[in-house]
Structure 1
Amino acid sequence: MARKYRQLMPDQRNQIQRGLNQGMSIRGIARQLGRSPSTISREIQRGRVEETYDAVCGREEAQRRRRKGVRKLTEGSPLTLAVTHAILQRKWSPEQIAGRLRMDYPEDKQWHVSHETIYQFIYAHPAGELRKALI
């Protein structure tokens, strides 16, 4: 049975830093935390400041990696208005809208949106016109 991924907790990052400062090996730290040595090694590489590991930098790097991208379809944006118009007025499917936007704006990545994003936008609106128009 596969193990479930668990992210390192702040106290575990602090233990890594203390262990390194005490001269412990990566395998010794991994044994102490009940983690894989490769997990500890990757965390040390990500949180490295010059020649040492810093738990705060490791936590900040983990947070930075977890951040989501920019939401493309927000209320009032020109892209949202164009998508809404295409669904309600032209009766286009999300696949047609995504393809047309790529054709109309080949160089402007801000206008590129996937059909999955459009579907999520439609279904995020409870019992709205967009859902009814799509069905």
Structure 2
Amino acid sequence: MDDFSSPDHPNAFGFPPSPANFIQPGKRPMSSQSPIVIFDTSPNKKTKPRLLAVGGAGGSTIISGVAEVAFHSLWLKANVKQAVDAPRLHNQLYPNVTWHEANFPRGVCEEHVARCIIMATHHVHKQM
């Protein structure tokens, strides 16, 4: 039921209620579900088209989690386990804090702070 909102009650993640998700008969809640499927349509016929399919659970962290797994797989050439296990960042925009896992590279966090981005250590849920 936490997909729905109730006036004056934040959800389980502590976010304010969304009128778009107020409980009404026959209504479906909006979702952050955002699975992706990526193909490499290389003209080289000797290689098989590469495929990446990623989806996840975790409420508001789904979109950033899916994007990070795709980034690690495609650009950093990580295998699936490495991509899923990699430390994560997440910013909900409200509050304007970028959460990072404790084992996230310190240098990257320091670069964010130098750009006036508020950083905080947090366990970002991994449910890929």
Report if TM-score (shorter chain) is over 0.5.
Answer: no
Q: Name which structure has the greater RCO, CA cutoff 8 Å, separation 6+.
A: 2
Between Structure 1 and Structure 2, which shows a larger proportion of strand residues?
Answer: 2
Larger radius of gyration: 1
Higher helix share: 1
TM-score (norm 2): 0.25
> Under a length normalisation based on structure 1, what TM-score does the superposition of the two structures give?
0.24
